[in-house]
Amino acid sequence: MSGDNHAGAAELVTGAQAVIKSLEALGVEVVFGYPGGAIMPAYDPLIDADLQHVLVRHEQGAVHMAEGYAHATGRVGVCIVTSGPAATNLVTGLADAHMDSIPVLAITGQVARSAIGSDAFQEADVTGITMPITKHNELVQSPERIAGAIKEAYHVAQSGRPGPVLVDIPKDVLNATFAWAWPERVDLPGYRPTVRGHGKMIREALQLIAASERPVIYAGGGLVRAGAGEELFAFATRLGLPVVTTLMARGIFPDTHELAVGMPGMHGHYSGVIALQEADLLVTLGARFDDRVTGDLDSFAPHAKVVHVDVDPAEIGKNRAVDVPIVGDVKVVLGQLLKVLDDKDDTAFAPAIDAWREHVRDLKRDHPLRVDQPDTGVLKPQTAIRAVYETWGDEAVYVAGVGQHQMWSAQVIPYTRGRQWINSGGLGTMGFAVPAAIGAKVGVGRDTPVVAIDGDGCFQMTFQELATAVQHDIPVIFCVVNNGYLGMVRQWQHLFYDDRLSQVALPQDCPDLMKIADAYGIPGFRVMTVDELDTTLAKAREITDQPVLVEFRVDPDEMVFPMVPGGASNDDIIESADEWRARLARAGR
């Protein structure tokens, strides 16, 4: 690449060429995008570039694909679109990436500098609009600034707490010619994320653990972002600490291990929710005490002291008071904790908690997930999702949309590694699964199956990206759990609005998903009953060289349990609809 250019021998390039050369210099291999007026100059040098461009069908698809790619690989996902409505179509995805700390670089075209502020055609103040939902953004004002802006943005996206960044480039800047130079280094005064934890806090954390009687590791998505699975496993198993994994952290500690307690939160496993409530110490790693985990914050884990490790100092103490704060990269901090254990006898810090571990095991044994699946006939959604896992197995990456199918997928599949589970956790973006799965598949390659598990409502928001998968030969398995409703909204209306269902019906035959599959030229399979499940999935499993669509017609009355009602205490967790109705009866309602 041109990082060795020097003054005097500088190559003359356009701003558009500088964009592409910058991406190549950063090692970017794929961009997801959609061309248009202001960004059009950048699409000309793209023809000759050493980059794969995936042409999406909607700009929201581009940013979700970039997210899926970043989720699956840990590398920065890149998307490129034009100005105005194209750029504003990125907003949902950028907000999604911001909430879930996903490194995404968005490059947007802008109207010419002379037209900015004039309400020109396809003009929008994109840097202003995206300021609160990006980690960093910049409107580039000169062609000489392009390389530095992109290199800095890329660095910011992947360092510290990862997140989305945006570089907005006016069309006349893209068309201008200048002497190319690639900055040797990134110099951002004031931006130096703390990586190593404070030694005194490290020792205090271990002392709290040693003195605890009911400790739990509260493992969050920051562990996945940091690639800290091995360190977490070593730390938890050496000290024998039970581990709950949040919705964003599923798989970072294997569900198959005896110390795994399950998922906490509104639709978490009973054992995960109650273990946090009863704990006397939370070892919080890369988690943020969000409301879906804590429920009523005042009654959350009322007896617990808190050790909180996070690379973002703004998260520490934001929602819950902390006894031992540790600012730092959670992978590095876990390495520091393990180093202390290496230097001393583990027994110096291992708490005596045999009774607590046995109690947690009892919680798991006595409160399993409940599915009343008949041997024949009606298909329960949990059964369908479990069968999907048994078909594509532990080697696959699973990507979910948002709603009931997302919660069932998080509950019933035993995840065993980080980045095996991808979903929209913080923003809860319906329509996420289809494009994110395509991006993930581009990232992991053809040898690793990628299975999108979507609901019928979510699927209809972004299924036009099936064309992207077909055109670019990206063989994702798209599974649609079709209950004919916006299922989670219906569940809440049933439980909390006296079953007054309002605008939640989505007829199962409209659209006919088999005709959708046929229209896009891909194999389609429909499972109507539990009897058809295994044979149909076996046929779908045989298809590995093109996208495939599998529709499951499931029981529309099935609801997601356990459940902590919105705003309630985690102590009020309910395990079935019958239990909820009994509580209402006792309350005279």
Catalytic machinery residues: 59, 121-122, 171, 488
DSSP track, 399-459? EE-SSHHHHHHHHHS---STTSEE---SS--TT-HHHHHHHHHHHH-TTS-EEEEEEHHHH
- Look up residue 574 and give its DSSP letter: B
Tokens read off for 292: 């879906």
DSSP states along 20-87: HHHHHHTT--EEEE---TTTHHHHHHHTTSS-EEEE-SSHHHHHHHHHHHHHHHSSPEEEEE-STHHH
CA distances from residue 116 to 23, 109, 169, 198 in whole angstroms, order as listed: 26, 12, 11, 47
Tokens of 249: 């952290």
| Pair 55, 428: CB distance under 8 Å | no
Amino acid sitting at position 472: H
Place of tokens 């055609």: 121
Q: How far apart are alpha carbons 16 and 178 in whole angstroms?
A: 11
Own/partner pairs, 349-352, CB within 8 angstroms, 24+ separation = 349/206, 349/207, 349/209, 349/210, 349/239, 350/210, 350/238, 350/239, 350/240, 351/209, 351/210, 351/211, 351/212, 351/213, 351/215, 351/239, 351/240, 351/241, 352/213
Sequence-ordered list of residues with C-beta below 8 angstroms from that of 515, at least 6 positions apart, any chain: none
Tokens of 407: 């919660």
Q: What distance in Å separates the CA atoms of residue 453 and residue 408, rounded to the nearest whole number?
A: 10
Question: What residue type is 535 in one-letter code?
Answer: T
| Residue given tokens 């027994």 in the structure block | 347
